[in-house]
A and B are shown apart, each in its own frame.
Chain A
Amino acid sequence: MKHIDEYRDGTAARAYAEAIARITTRPWTIMEVCGGQTHSIVKFGIDELLPPAVTLVHGPGCPVCVTALEYVEKAIEIASLPGVLFCSFGDMLRVPGISRDLLSVKASGGDVRIVYSPLDALRLAADHPDREVVFFAVGFETTAPAVAMAAWQAVRQGARNFSMLVSHVRVPPAMEAVLSSPDNRVQGFLAAGHVCAVMGTAEYGPIASRYHIPIVVTGFEPVDILQGLYMCLRQLEQGRAEVENQYSRSVRPEGNPAARKLMGEIFRVVPRKWRGIGEIAQSGLGLREKYAGLDAETRFGVAHRTTEEPPECRSGLVLQGILKPRECPEFGTRCTPEHPLGATMVSSEGACAAYYHYRRRRS
Chain B
Amino acid sequence: MKTGNSFVCPIPIRQYPQVLLAHGGGGTLTHQLIEKMFLPAFGNPLLGARHDGAVFDPPEGRMAFTTDSYVVRPLFFPGGDIGTLAVNGTVNDLAMCGARPLYLSAGFIIEEGLPMDTLWRVVQSMKRAADDAGVQIVTGDTKVVDRGKGDGIFINTAGVGAVPPGRAISPSAVREGDRILLSGDIGRHGIAIMAVREGLEFETTITSDCAPLAGIVESLCEAGIDIHCMRDLTRGGLASTLVEIAEATALQCEIEEASVPIREEVRAACEILGFDPLYVANEGRFAAFVPPDQAERAIDLMRRHPLGAGADIIGTVKTGSPGLATLRSLIGATRVIDMLSGEQLPRIC
Q: Which residues of A contact B (CB under 8 A)?
A: 1, 4, 8-10, 13-14, 36, 42-46, 48-49, 63-64, 89-94, 103, 114, 116, 138-140, 142-143, 194, 222, 336-338, 348-349, 356-362
Contact = CB atoms under 8 A, between A and B. Distances in A.
Contacts of A92: 348
A91 B268 contact: no
A219 to B, nearest CB: 13
B267 A63 contact: no
Contact of B349 (A63, A114, A358): A63
A59 to B, nearest CB: 15
Contact of A89 (B268, B321, B348): B348
B264 interface: yes
B66 to A, nearest CB: 28
Contacts of A14: 331-332
Interface residues of B, number: 27
Contacts of B341: 336-338
Contacts of A10: 258, 330-332
Which A-B residue pairs are the 3 nearest by beta carbons?
A: A45-B333, A90-B345, A337-B341
B349 A139 contact: yes
A90 B343 CA distance: 10
Contacts of B200: 116
Given A44-B331, A116-B198, A361-B324, A91 B336 contact: no
Contacts of A36: 347, 349
Nearest to B329: A44
B68 to A, nearest CB: 24
A94 B335 CA distance: 24
A348 B274 contact: yes
Nearest to B342: A94
Given A1-B267, A338-B341, A45 B331 contact: yes
B335 A116 contact: no
Contacts of A338: 341
Nearest to B336: A358
B141 interface: no
B333 A46 contact: yes
A55 B274 CA distance: 27
Contacts of B131: none
Contacts of A359: 335-336
A168 B28 CA distance: 61
Main SS at interface, chain B? loop
Contact of B271 (A4, A44, A142, A361): A4
Interface of B: 198, 200, 258, 264, 267-268, 271, 273-274, 321, 324, 329-336, 338, 341-342, 345-349
A358 B335 contact: yes
B144 to A, nearest CB: 24
Contacts of A91: 345-348
A357 B349 contact: no
A14 B331 CA distance: 7
Nearest to A340: B341
Contacts of A337: 341-342
B330 A44 contact: yes
A13 B345 contact: no
Contact of B330 (A139, A140, A222): A222
A116 B273 CA distance: 9
Contacts of A44: 329-331, 333, 335
Nearest to A142: B349
Given A13-B330, A349-B348, 9 more contacts: A10-B330, A13-B332, A36-B349, A46-B333, A48-B333, A63-B349, A94-B345, A142-B349, A357-B336
A137 B341 CA distance: 25
B231 to A, nearest CB: 21
28 contacts: A1-B267, A1-B268, A4-B271, A9-B330, A10-B330, A10-B332, A42-B335, A43-B329, A45-B329, A45-B331, A49-B331, A63-B348, A63-B349, A64-B348, A89-B348, A91-B347, A91-B348, A116-B346, A139-B349, A142-B348, A336-B341, A348-B274, A348-B347, A349-B348, A357-B338, A358-B336, A360-B338, A361-B321
A138 B331 contact: no
A8 B271 CA distance: 13
A45 B345 contact: no
Nearest to A336: B341
A63 B274 CA distance: 14
Contacts of A89: 346-348
A114 B346 contact: yes
A42 B268 CA distance: 21
B197 to A, nearest CB: 10
A185 B332 CA distance: 29
Identify which of B267, B333, B338, B349 gathers the most chain A CB atoms within 10 Å of its CB. Answer: B349
Contacts of B348: 63-64, 89, 91-92, 138-139, 142-143, 349
Contacts of B349: 36, 63, 139-140, 142-143, 194
Contacts of A349: 347-348
A175 B140 CA distance: 64
